Amino acid sequence: MQKIEKSEREWRAELTPDQYRILREKGTEPAFTGEYDHVFEPGTYRCAGCGTELFSSDTKYDSGCGWPAFFAPASEDAIEEERDASLGMVRTEVLCAACGGHLGHVFPDGPQPTGQRYCINSAALELDEK
């Protein structure tokens, strides 16, 4: 996947303040406040920073965690994962593989067939409805 590189000035000009805080500064939105937490329309979820296809509505489910949850990414190369030891715990951070934007975290307590719960910030996503 081709990497998208922009200056922080460019990112600030293109993103809303919430998108910038989450995607570029690894922030999060409060639980149960995101636009897509309870949206289940068919479509494709793309990175709000660069438009890369990240998740399909076919893999979205209501996990009750307060953020949009998916059991699989759109493709293996859509996301990257990194160890996150912030906040006194160890988690697996999920990043957009194209622009490096912080999306959320993945946990091993999701439904089958993957057993994964990709817990993603709504502000990091844009839904292209079918």
Which of these is catalytic: 47, 96, 99, 119? 119
DSSP letters for 92-127: EEEEETTT--EEEEEES---TTT--EEEE-GGGEEE
Q: Which of 21, 25, 26, 41 is nearest to 105 (CA)?
A: 26
Distance between CA atoms of residues 61 and 57, nearest Å: 8
Distance between CA atoms of residues 38 and 92, nearest Å: 23
Please confirm, yes or no, whether 47 is among the known catalytic residues.
Answer: no
**Active-site amino acid positions:** 119
